[in-house]
Amino acid sequence: MKIFPYLILLIPVANPVWAQISDLSLGLGGTLETSAYNMRYRDYSVLPVLNYDDDTWYLDGAEAGYYLINNDVNELKIKTYYDFTSYNSNLGHGDAMRSLKDRHGSLMAGFSYQYTTGYGAVHTQVAADTLGRSKGLVGEVSYLNMLTFNSLTLVPEIGGAWANAQQNRYYYGISRHESHRSGLRAYHPHGSITPFVALTVNYSLSKKWNFYTKFRSDFLPSELRDSPMVGHDGIYSYSLGVIYDF
């Protein structure tokens, strides 16, 4: 189990689409996430949540940024966020997986743009690894909508996450040296697009207190499933928490 404060990541991250919060909100959240790797492991964390948004700068957990454009229709941000994707060889299933090198998360930086209409919003973003771990590029395109029923708000989302070859080779590839040491076949994936669906639920307990939960499912494409490191067809994450708006 990981327990560490998001406060150490004082770099802006975007709130979910149409999130209406005061300048500052604090709370506590927990997340359970499965791994794509061939390992008997589920990562769960309990984290303090810090959100700040003054319509110019924003901070949302592990992401932060600056609004270049911010109105009811167009939202353009420059952002940075931490990608927690990682592989700990000590937790690998079998000697072969345990002989591979670790893969580490990284700080990503890039841009996002969202176009909002009365029928929902289209969100796009692109970001690059800034720590030189994968030296990769990632992107995402999704459609979201907001459904409100009194104190209950639902935000369904469907989209695709793109990663280039450098990104996939760092996290899912196996070099010749690793292949020789582990006995697993060498693997050099190309770029890929991973479809995903998500649902965010927010319930206003009062004017100040809000409860939220989110489920996301990523369906791995064959480019990633074919990696000898991968033991599952998808990645599933579930989070919930409570937030107080100041």
SS3 82: strand
| Inside any domain, residue 134 | yes
CB 233 within 8 A of CB 194: no
User: According to the model, what pLDDT value does residue 193 have?
Assistant: 98
| Inside any domain, residue 53 | yes
pLDDT digits (tens, 9 = 90+) for 194-232: 999 999 999 999 999 999 999 999 999 999 999 999 999
User: According to the model, what pLDDT value does residue 45 have?
Assistant: 84
pLDDT digits (tens, 9 = 90+) for 119-164: 999 999 999 999 999 999 999 999 999 999 999 999 999 999 999 9
Sequence-ordered list of residues with C-beta below 8 angstroms from that of 198, at least 6 positions apart, any chain: 156, 157, 158, 214, 215, 216, 217
* pLDDT bracket for residue 59 (50, 70, 90): very high
> What CATH number is attached to the domain comprising 40?
2.40.160.40
SS3 143: strand
CA distance 123 to 114: 4
Sequence-ordered list of residues with C-beta below 8 angstroms from that of 107, at least 6 positions apart, any chain: 11, 80, 81, 82, 83, 129, 130, 131
Domain that holds residue 118: 6-245
Q: How many CA atoms lie within 13 A of 30 on its CB side?
A: 4
Share the mean pLDDT of the chain.
Answer: 90
User: According to the model, what pLDDT value does residue 22 have?
Assistant: 52
Number of domains into which the chain is organized: 1
